[in-house]
Each structure stands twice: as C-alpha cells, then as structure tokens.
Structure 1
Amino acid sequence: MSWLVTGGAGYIGAHVVRALADAGLPPVVIDDLSSGHEGFVPEGVPFVRGSILDRALVEQTLREHAVTGVIHVAGYKYAGVSVQRPLHTYEQNVEGTRVVLAAMADAGVDKLVFSSSAAVYGTPDVPLVTEDLPKRPASPYGESKLIGEWLIRDQAVATADSAQPLRHTSLRYFNVVGSGDSSVYDTSPHNLFPIVFEKLLAGETPRINGDDYDTPDGTNVRDYVHVADIAAAHAVAARRLAAGEPVEPAYNLGSQNGLSVREIMDAMARVTGIGFTPEIGPRRAGDPDRIVATGELAARDLEWANRHTVDEMVRSGWEARRRA
C-alpha cells in the first residue's frame, strides 16, 4: 500500500516523502538526481535511482513496491530557463508525465496527485487567482504543466468505464520556500530565497529587480508558501484518493495575501541578523505587479493553510542552508 513519489529526492519531493510517512502512507522514491540529492531521502525509504522517462523502470518500481498511488513531483521546474530550453522542458514534463501515466496503466495503479504549477495561469490581471481562471501560460514550463494536466484529464476520461478508472487531482502553487526538516533545503540557483542566502553567505548584497511597480512598496507581490504546508496538502490529497473520497480536478495552494520582494528582504535582514540595503536593479521583462492565488477550495478539502509567517519561512530556510 505504498505511494511512489517521483522526484522524491528533490527539495519539494523530499518534504512530500516526509509528509506521506507522517500520514501513515509508506513512500517510495524514484529520482534521477539531476537536481535532487540522495541524502534528502530519509533512511529506510526505498530509493530507485533512474529517470521517469524509463517506462520499464517506472513500471517495475510500481510493481515491486506494491504501489497504490503516485505523487508526481518530478519535472524541470525553471520557468525562465525553459524559454531557452523548450525541448528539454517538454521532454521532462510532458513526455515524463505520459510515461508515468502509461506505466501506471500497465501496473494497475489508479490514483495520482500531480504537482502542477500556478504558471498555468500566466500573468493574470486579477487580484486573486482562482481555479477557474483562463489558462494562459507565459513560458514553456507553464505550458508543459498545463499539458500535463490535460494528459491526466484525458487518461481519466479514457479509463472512466474500466475496472480501474484513474482518480486524480492537480495542485497548483507559486513560490515554495523554507524548510520543514533541517536536512533538506532549496538548492535551486533560480529561486529568490536561495539566491539571497548565497549572496549573504558570500558577503554580497542581494538585489531587487525593479521598485516602481504598482504595489504598496513598489516591488513585486507574489505568493510565498512554506514547503511543509505544500507537502502536507499533497499527503492529504493522497489520503483522500486512497479513501475513495471526492476531490476537485485542481486546487490552488495560495497564500491569499502575498508578500512583496521588499518584505522578503526585510525579513531576511531581520532573521539572519545581517543588515543590508538591497541594490535596486532594472525590472525583468514580463514581471507583473502582483500574482496571488486564493486557497479556499484547498482549505475546504485538503486542510490547506498558510501556517507560517514570513519570519518563520526565512528562519527555517536559513537554518537548513547553514547546516548544509
């Protein structure tokens, strides 16, 4: 009765693994370690090193570990870089999802939680992003996640009248930060928190890209959500699927309010004790003023809540990074 976590050696996936274990759903991990770390996988959790593009390996893993459901976290997650590497992005995220679905069908596994992205919405001009908003992804990454959702939807339709119809849900979220375990931290070179941490550790000054946006302090406002809260929602979704309880096709894991980049910088200085005045650089092309999602549906069904303050997000991430 185990659950397979694809990408379970990565920053988010490793937290999902821990959340599953805490929920009494034994996890199994498959990861090619292209961005993950075997040391992030807890001791005693079965680990298979390999690519989700290897259909035979995925199916073998599903069968050997008696997997009953999959949480599909693996993917190429760098939206900005995906513009320069669209073919790689589509291979990893679209073909990877197709292969996982095919292996699940062959192995008789019929429950799936898909780690999607709020990038499927693009840059909507609304105060709060809701699940029914039109999908207008602005990068190959966002497009690949939306196509992944379509693949899952179509497979569910195709299997609806079979003995094992696919039951699924997709979780969409923006900026995942912090740490729920001091042995796991964000190693991405493209995310705000690790970028600032590395600057501070190197004695350099972090930068804000533009301070003339139409927001209260002039800097971008975004959803920042703690990785432990994200992981817990994945585990609740898996538990509901395992119990045969109804779920929506997709949920936003949103903060409802958002935080500005300047608020993040202020918290960084406050929590780390390293005083600094961030440099102000030019705007990045295409950056909208504000993107924040509601989490009402997820709060109703997945026990979703943004349980951490900005200082707690920074402190947990900083402590984990310094222990590395």
Structure 2
Amino acid sequence: MVPSSFYSRWILVAMSLLLQALNLKKSLGGRVVVDDVSLQVESGQVLGLLGPNGAGKTTTMRMIYGFLRPDAGSIIINGVGFDADVAAAKRSMGVCTQSDTFDTDFTVRDNLYVAASYFRPQVPDLNEHIAGLLQRFGLAEFADQKPDTLSGGYCRRLMVARALVNRPKLLFLDEPTTGLDPQARRALWRLIRSLREEGLGIVLTTHYMDEAQFLSDQLVVLDEGKVLAHDTPEQILGEFVGEHVIVLSQPLADSVTEWLRSAEIVGHEGVPGELHVPVGSAQLSGFAASFETLDYDVRKPNLDDLFERLSGGAQ
C-alpha cells in the first residue's frame, strides 16, 4: 500500500508546477530543431536554459511563449493546457524579450498601462500595482519621461516591470542583462532573486555563464535540439566537467602534454596563455604526484567550462 504521505507530496508538487512542457518537437526548413524536449518549473524556482548556438533554445522558448506551435508535445501553464485555453494560459505568464520593445511615444508609466490594457479581465488594483512596480524597479523618478531617455540598465528594468504588469506566476527572461555593465547586471540579478523568493517561477536564457550559475536552481542543457542534461548546476558540472579544474601556463612542458595525452584528458584555453583542464579527484591526485615542482592553480569548475566542452572548445 502506498503511504498517504506519498500522495500528499505528489499533490503539493503538482500544485506548485507552473510550467510543464512535455515531449516538444519542432522542425523548421525540413530540419528537426527541437527533438523531444521536456522541462518543468515550480513555484519559487529559476530554470536556466543553456546551450550553444543552434541548440534549439530560441525555438523552445517561442513554443512555450505561444509564439510558435509545436509539431508534437504539450504545454501546460499553471495547470492550463495551451490546447484547452491558450488565452487563459498566457494570463499566467509574463515575457521579457531580449530586445527592448516598449513604445517610445509613451512615458515609462504609460508603457505599463498600455501593457496592462491587453489583458482581460482587467488587472485588479491597477493604479496601485503600477505605482508599486515603478517604485520597486527604481523607475518612479523617471515615470513621466520617455523610455529613450533611460540608460540601458533602466530600460531592462522597465522591460521586466512590464512583464510583471499582469501579476504573472511564471516569468520568462530572455537574455535579461545583455549589454549592461557589471553594476547594472548585478542590480537586476538582485531584483530577479527577490521575485524568485516571492514564489514566481522563472525561465531564464542567458549567454552569461556566471549569470546562469548565480541565478539558476535547475539547468536544462540543450544540444542539437535534445536535452543533454536537466539537473542542478552542481550535478551537471560534476557529470560533464569534473570535480576540479587545473589551470596551467602555456606553453606546456612536453612531460605535461604527454601526461594529459596518456590520461586522455583535454583542456580549453582560458585567458590567453592559460590552459584549463577539468579533472576528477583521482586524476588531480595523480597529476600532483607526477609534477610536485610544477607551478599551477586548481579551481572549482564553472559553466564556462561546460560551455567550452559543449561547443567543442577543448584542445
């Protein structure tokens, strides 16, 4: 007999699921670009979607937004399937696209009101809600200005605020900090973390590996349209990269090159003049024993190492 606690946990998980994309498939121009992709997002969770160019990230996101119809598979947003009621499903989501798409003829405040006008039924307590968004995203002092007077960082804040105008439960962020300076990026990271803490489910695509590692609770790694991995960043790095990364100065001594070759270990270039070599603990011990007088560093793996491996950057 299955214990009642099992059913309780299953019900709680089912209730917290905000996105279920199951077995999505899509062909474009006669080529399969998304092949049996499944992913899910729970309340209070950030899911990072990663992969090299051409991996299928954009097509997957466009299907989940409802911009592109899948050839096969199903999409359920906050318990409502696209096939059942796509309009109701979309009311539970907010989308921040990579490009700034607000109307420069309207003020910052009016851009939020225009975005809210697209939703039926009308967003409740709209005046109070928009005032709160302006305050939260540091836009209140610019509320009566046109968006083209804002800096890049504040333009991205406005895009995220606009995506929240309908009080969504699920938020899509497509390259949210592209083109921002480090200070503006980290300010936006803090806002994203605060949204997660309030229970929003968030799907993030980014080409900044530090951003993905800092923000994501779970990662889906796509390669050639297929899911290569779906796990925590730590688990994925351990499986695909290793437990450690040896940092070596180049050019390498012949003895080091031969050791790496015989151990069938490959590395990738970090900054110019360095070779970064992912290894397991046993391999690190063997390397240390073989080169006791060699000057080198050891660090933890990161998502840059994963991306180098996926994109064929190893040498």
Report if TM-score (shorter chain) is over 0.5. Answer: no
Structure number with bigger Rg: 2
Normalising by structure 1, we get a TM-score of: 0.28
- Identify, as 1 or 2, the structure richer in strand: 2
With normalisation by structure 2, the TM-score equals 0.29
